[in-house]
Structure 1
């Protein structure tokens, strides 16, 4: 009988302990540091095509220890760098956050404006205008802003990228700092007075160390070039060259190319630019004491050299393959640094891209796969002639950029017609033009709801005040360019929208999904993980499979 009582007491004691543990479960995870990584112009298939040559500690570590969203897409047009970074961090699309491109025609100012330009602030770290930047043109909050609010500014937020837009937009409005690389003769990391009155000591120390100088060296393949079987021949007609080169082939002698390619700006277009970014990210973690306490900090890192390499050499170049193999090593080094400085299992990482890229259209042509080039000049000339014949004016088109037509509203008013009338006439006319898949008027995008297809993607990228009057979609494989070498991006076709999305670290499940996920889901997943309020423009949803 005594034993029965003892067993019963033990049983109920354990029940009470389990109940207490259950009661103490928290509906959030609090890593010491969140690291957001955006790889500029990374297609999803770069993860699979180069898999066999990746090491165990970079991309493979994220997949093997974390969660892989295999069917991740941008859900809007245009797929541009600034819009991509803003969408990743706001959990919204350009329709809401207002970053409709890297630059766009501003109807109020009657000029092209750059996404982060700010004439009110001053440069820090350089005497040039390279630092006159801020996030003020982004009109929605970011997950980094929400972290600052949730921690009453005790959690630090730092943004880092070779590109100003790649650091500023992810860091958000309330960041402690955003830094970008100014090349030319300086080779320094800079910022603006939007964030601070003077550069921190650790940034000055890094700049004074001439850390960028060590990457002024010859770019040879990391491994035997014969093993780069996921790429086409090194010497081909589809790749661009650095100024001063006769062929787009290895080796690329940076010291010899230095003066003709912008000096330190040359580092942006080679994989060493990603290595320099990693160096600076590690310096930021130490200099800012990120991840040192139980209040979550956030480091937003964008690797931009991949984009410059892709634009010049294209999707299937050996230079592109080599750049990703080297980035994999940089990631392995960086994750090992985080293990040591923050603690393995104490930080959370996500990795994605700001857009993908189309295969070089001239290469597609050689393979008899649909693709080619769209002439902006021929398009505008034909359309202007049509509008002159129809409405009696050749001044109706004010601007054509980002595949958007902006009309001269003063000219329309002078003619006594409506903007909708001109927009509809243009849409009807250009459906007969070569290499145009679809076109929609701004009036229709404002007044109708499109639930799927390219129209839906255009609508999610359409900003009420900033977007054009007619939006054009080119045929798959076609780009608005006369340059037959290298690649670009910007469309809503799968080759531009399908990007990797990997999570690993504290609070992240191990697994994978082929369920469609979308770029705005990222910020909302991170906010759900941390238990903080979603960004103000939220349109995505948390990816429930990712979070423990």
Structure 2
């Protein structure tokens, strides 16, 4: 018996050191989970690791998985929609086309901006009675396939892939085109909705979840007034719990992890971003939210262990963030950094005044448009074309004037030292980016990776470090600086060697690594690397020994 025990122990040790050959065609693993924490900066896990007491929350990655300390996006446009697109496709904006959360598209409307996933060809499904009806949503602007798409293509549609988030763009752009569904919430009620791109009616299990009272109970738990679930509940652990319970509902109803091929679900937790914008990364409230996320993730992965065939031994998980975040301006300036605030809308107004003086005296014009995303400045090409100016000439004029107008009209916080006053360091035109006429250095590469044909005429401004549009107490993200590009990268599953890794890696490596392991094509525009340093040696299953008579 003692020898048998040692043999069993040795077999267990061997199993821990090697990974049997995996491929999605034979459901090895049964389920892939792509987990994104919105505005999750890369230093959070190590900074607060002493807080995490659960076995299967963040410690699933820190103690049982492969944990990278130095994962950085390799582009400049650090927003939610580009980040989720990059994780899904393994490409940057110059590959997948998503440059921002929203932009002007004069081919569709000259009256308002469009979000990255708005699509007038479809309608919202499941919106509560009385809700404001917007265009439907779809992945129409995503110019590359995702990992989920490739799983569906490789299995001839047998694999099931779903995307889930509180935000539409996060649910859609991470999961892809060929998914069976993407779900996000109606911001006021918290009820999950979708678009006719996927289905004409909500599945019965989604309608039942919406009618269960869970949204109302979560609002009551946090003392919400029922006016906006997204803001009131979304910024709390109750919002994380609500979203993960919905994910469990989808996984259970769709029997993900119980099929003859590998299934996949993408889950983007929006709460860290909703709260983070209001308080900044160093606020105790954000730390408390991460502690709450640890507890809720522990519940979710424990639940998966009993609802996927073979449990967590048959689940692979990658966790990352869609972007990092800058510290709040007020506290950073007090520590001596050249931090400051400016008004993005005010800067556009000031530019319009100066351009009117120069080009249209006595006849005010809106040469620049409001409604874009930091750090893009959209030009109204109709106004410029009436002056017989080309795109290159118009963008060059704006680029030349912007630093001077910034210095003249944006004094920053009261009492700011000269060294910390807001400034525009560099401006790059869309024409430059389209032609590749950019500096031959790291910044040039980041900008080239940020290029998209979307958005019309525009320029991209590089502001000073730690200088943010908005108030001194909150924060945001939009810059090519390391604090906005640094995110976690962690893997868990039978294929990965647990440990802490200090290699410089990127979120594009998620799709490349999983595609290699699953023996499928990488997404169509993927540029990531297979992270071979974290992969266990593979072994072919041993052939059965012949029977002896």
Question: Normalization by structure 2: what TM-score?
Answer: 0.83
* Residue in 1 that maps onto 2:156: 152
> What displacement does 1:38 show?
0.3
Matched, 1:440 2:428: yes
State the distance in 1 between where 2:347 and 2:187 align.
Answer: 36
Identify the match of residue 311 of structure 1 among 259, 277, 284: 277
* Residue in 2 that maps onto 1:3: none
Alignment of 1:140-179 (within 5 A): 140-179=144-183
> What displacement does 1:344 show?
2.7
* Residue in 2 that maps onto 1:423: 395
State the distance in 1 between where 2:219 and 2:241 align.
Answer: 12
8 Å contact 1:86–1:99 — kept in the other structure? Answer: yes
* Residue in 2 that maps onto 1:387: 355
The structure-2 alpha-carbon separation of the partners of 1:384 and 1:63, relative to structure 1 and needing over 3 Å to count, comes to same
Matched, 1:112 2:113: yes
* Residue in 2 that maps onto 1:11: none
State the distance in 2 between where 1:131 and 1:468 align.
Answer: 24
* Residue in 1 that maps onto 2:98: 99
Cα deviation per residue 1:253-287 (whole Å; 9 max; x = unaligned)? x33x414x425752112221101111111111111
* Residue in 2 that maps onto 1:10: none
* Residue in 2 that maps onto 1:45: 43
The number of residue pairs the alignment matches comes to 487
> What displacement does 1:27 show?
7.2
Matched, 1:502 2:490: yes
* Residue in 1 that maps onto 2:137: 133
The structure-2 alpha-carbon separation of the partners of 1:449 and 1:541, relative to structure 1 and needing over 3 Å to count, comes to farther
Question: Normalization by structure 1: what TM-score?
Answer: 0.83
Structure 1's unaligned 5+ residue stretches are 1-21, 219-253
Matched, 1:362 2:330: yes
8 Å contact 1:395–1:408 — kept in the other structure? Answer: no
Identify the match of residue 209 of structure 1 among 200, 212, 215: 212
State the distance in 2 between where 1:318 and 1:212 align.
Answer: 26
> What displacement does 1:443 show?
2.1
Matched, 1:453 2:442: yes
Output the aligned Cα RMSD.
2.4
State the distance in 1 between where 2:135 and 2:262 align.
Answer: 28
> What displacement does 1:208 show?
2.3
Cα deviation per residue 1:319-363 (whole Å; 9 max; x = unaligned)? 111100010011111111122222131110000001111111112
> What displacement does 1:28 show?
4.5
Q: Which stretch shifts more, 371-380 or 343-352?
A: 371-380
* Residue in 2 that maps onto 1:223: none
* Residue in 1 that maps onto 2:499: 511
Identify the match of residue 194 of structure 2 among 191, 202, 206: 191
* Residue in 2 that maps onto 1:74: 73
Matched, 1:544 2:544: no
State the distance in 1 between where 2:168 and 2:350 align.
Answer: 37
Alignment partner of 1:119: what SS?
Answer: strand
> What displacement does 1:296 show?
0.3
The structure-2 alpha-carbon separation of the partners of 1:428 and 1:521, relative to structure 1 and needing over 3 Å to count, comes to same
8 Å contact 2:508–2:528 — kept in the other structure? Answer: yes
Identify the match of residue 369 of structure 2 among 389, 399, 402: 399
* Residue in 1 that maps onto 2:63: 64
Q: Which stretch shifts more, 276-285 or 536-545?
A: 536-545
> What displacement does 1:423 show?
2.5
8 Å contact 2:78–2:479 — kept in the other structure? Answer: yes
State the distance in 2 between where 1:205 and 1:396 align.
Answer: 49
